[in-house]
Amino acid sequence: MRRKPRLVTPVDRGRGRSRHGRGGRSSVTGPDLAPVITRAEAFDRTVGDTAHYLLQLWPEELHGVVFQVADMPTDASQPDELPRWRVDHEGRRVTLFRIPVERVNRSPEKDDADRRIIIETAVFRAVGELIDKDPWDLAPDRYRHW
């Protein structure tokens, strides 16, 4: 199976912690089990999968677009609400902010499918803003099976 090229680049997210000068932490699962996928890694994967899907549907419109994931916006002048994404039309860049997007689904009834749909919706809305299309027009047949 051929792997897809990495499309989403995380923005300077520290890996592991160094608390009280003790250095990085070891894996929770140990050497015998598969590594645990963190929420941030699952978010990156979902954004990447959705971006690849949209690139297949809109290759000319999304040619050269860079997708990034950051934990939070870093602007000093914050509006009343935290933005969930930022679109740079000149730089052809879409940045999704993981924590504000994840805060949408704070209900305990939400499962992995709900989380994935919330992330996909944010990507669709950001790409729609970038190419000036309604997000529902980006993939009209995607949810027709309902």
Report pTM.
0.74
Dump pLDDT digits (tens) for 45-83. Answer: 999 999 999 999 999 999 999 999 999 888 756 666 788
d(CA 141, CA 143): 6
Type of residue found at 29: T
Determine whether 84 is exposed, middle or buried from the number of CB atoms within 10 Å of its CB (0-12, 13-18, 19+): buried
The upper half-sphere exposure of residue 3, i.e. CA atoms within 13 Å in the direction of its Cβ, equals 4
Dump pLDDT digits (tens) for 102-145. Answer: 887 666 667 888 889 899 999 999 999 999 998 888 887 765 55
